[in-house]
A and B are shown apart, each in its own frame.
Chain A
Amino acid sequence: MLSSKLVDFSRWIKSNGLTSVVPTDINALKKLLVLDLSKKKLRELPDSIEALENLNVLKLSGNRLKTLPKGICKLKKLRNLQCENNLLIELPEDFGDLESLLILNLNGNHLKTLPKSFYKLTTLTRLTIATNLLVGLDDELKNFTKLLYLSLDTNNIKKLPDVFGKMKALYYLDLSYNKLTSLPDSISKIDELETLLLEGNQLAKLPSLESHDMLIRLNLNDNELCELDFDFSHLEDLQILTLDNNQLVELPNSICELQRLRHLSFSSNLITHLPNCIGELENLIELDMEDNLLHEFPTSFSKLKKLKILYMDNNNGLSKPDIKSLEFCDVE
């Protein structure tokens, strides 16, 4: 049975002119570990792909696939599936049968929903479903406790289920460009989180992020934040903080305690004054405060001895500060 499918798959390889990148010999196909069919303008795959029973890695990115064949779900040894930038409108019903899958990339497709079985893929460590049309996710996502990397950006998600409580090892979480108005409380339980990207949502209020003492990068650009009412001083590893395009009128003084902060950006807000203690950010290299309502620098500003890049245009008559380390300033 499998050998006739191998013959069928071999024929498909030949008929699609792929013989230069894929073997057609039946024995070689049977032993194949890695199959790279990226950017081959493929519109469909044969069901006989199931015969590649030893396949570990399958790369299908950059094609024109609208569906995946059911046979793909029988690749029990598949550990890495790359299917970025296709036209997938749905996944096979038994997609969750890919029980060895560790890495899954479905970025840039047209998925509106995921099949129920998808939530059986609890061995996943890296999951990317960015740039699709998802409107929500199932509560069963909570069982993905091995995840290290999760990207759900650029979908149409309005509310997330409270699923992060057991994702202790997750270090990268991208929820940017959705329609979130709030975040689930369990986000504060992600112990190892280093990158949290929330850009382009409709967040007017944040849960306390104080528990994320390993956070290195926090992006809150393009939201509806009017204030930041948690204590930043706990984010002792934070190096990059971006708050552009919100409605903030001031920055909390606790920002000055971020001793490792290197990049701070809050352009296009309504900020009228900087914290007096801003000079305590002794590792700050880049500061973007363009397009606010600032009219003066606090005295401590000159203590920013490592500041190299400063964007300060479109404020209320600010003059370029005299800081020797400055290499670029958008105002002369």
Chain B
Amino acid sequence: MNHLGDRVICDCSSKSVNEAIEIFSQTSLPYKKAKKLVTECNRSCCRRALMRLFDMVEFGDIDYEEIDFLIEQRDIKNLRIDDVE
């Protein structure tokens, strides 16, 4: 699953899934504070994948394929919203 772990989960900070896992593993902060350590901003564009990953780290079982799907979904959604606008 290494290639899935290398995928960028947050475009703002360019952090990968593996980097986000490392950050979430090393903090005891709640999600709303911990996410800023990954995103380095206040935006919420990568919220769905990040929130799910945070939960997975909490429970100790990472489903890389699900995270990959959620990142994919976000990218498609962003493209389609750009289409609408």
- B76 contacts partner chain A, Cβ-Cβ < 8 Å: yes
- A62 contacts partner chain B, Cβ-Cβ < 8 Å: yes
Contact B84 A156 (CB under 8 A): yes
A168 CB to nearest B CB, Å: 31
If A108-B73, A268-B42, A311-B33 touch, whether A62 touches B66 (CB-CB below 8 Å) is yes
Chain A interface main SS type:
loop
CB neighbours of A108 from chain B (8 A): 48, 70, 73
B60 CB to nearest A CB, Å: 19
- Chain B count of residues within 8 A CB distance of the other chain: 15
Contact A85 B69 (CB under 8 A): yes
- A195 contacts partner chain B, Cβ-Cβ < 8 Å: no
- B3 contacts partner chain A, Cβ-Cβ < 8 Å: no
Q: Which residue of B lies closest to A132 (CB)?
A: B77
Instruction: Return the contact of A135 from the options B44, B76, B84 (Cβ within 8 A).
Output: B84
- A82 contacts partner chain B, Cβ-Cβ < 8 Å: no
- A222 contacts partner chain B, Cβ-Cβ < 8 Å: yes
CB neighbours of B73 from chain A (8 A): 85, 108, 131
A131, B32: Cα distance in complex, Å: 20
B72 CB to nearest A CB, Å: 9
Interface size class of A (residues with CB under 8 A): 10 to 19
CB neighbours of B70 from chain A (8 A): 85, 108
- B81 contacts partner chain A, Cβ-Cβ < 8 Å: yes
Q: Mask for B52-85, Cβ within 8 A of A = 1, else 0?
A: 0000000000000010011001001100110010
Contact A133 B80 (CB under 8 A): yes
CB neighbours of B48 from chain A (8 A): 108, 131, 154
Contact A133 B42 (CB under 8 A): no
B80 CB to nearest A CB, Å: 5
CB neighbours of A112 from chain B (8 A): 80, 84
Contact A110 B76 (CB under 8 A): yes
Q: Which residue of B lies closest to A64 (CB)?
A: B69
Q: Which residue of A lies closest to B48 (CB)?
A: A131
Contact B44 A133 (CB under 8 A): no
- A105 contacts partner chain B, Cβ-Cβ < 8 Å: no
- A177 contacts partner chain B, Cβ-Cβ < 8 Å: yes
B35 CB to nearest A CB, Å: 12
Contact B81 A156 (CB under 8 A): yes
Leading 8 A-B pairs by shortest Cβ distance? A133-B80, A200-B44, A245-B42, A156-B81, A108-B73, A268-B42, A131-B48, A85-B69
Beyond the given A108-B48, A112-B80, A154-B48, could you list 11 further A-B residue pairs with CB under 8 A, ordered by the A residue number? A62-B66, A85-B69, A85-B70, A108-B73, A110-B80, A131-B73, A133-B80, A133-B81, A133-B84, A156-B84, A244-B32
Measuring CB to CB, which residues of chain A are less than 8 angstroms from any residue of chain B?
62, 85, 108, 110, 112, 131, 133, 135, 154, 156, 177, 200, 222, 244-245, 268, 311
A sample of 25 inter-chain contacts (CB < 8 A) reads A62-B66, A62-B69, A85-B66, A85-B69, A85-B73, A108-B48, A108-B70, A108-B73, A110-B77, A110-B80, A112-B80, A131-B48, A131-B73, A131-B77, A133-B77, A133-B81, A135-B84, A154-B48, A156-B81, A156-B84, A200-B44, A244-B32, A245-B42, A268-B42, A311-B33
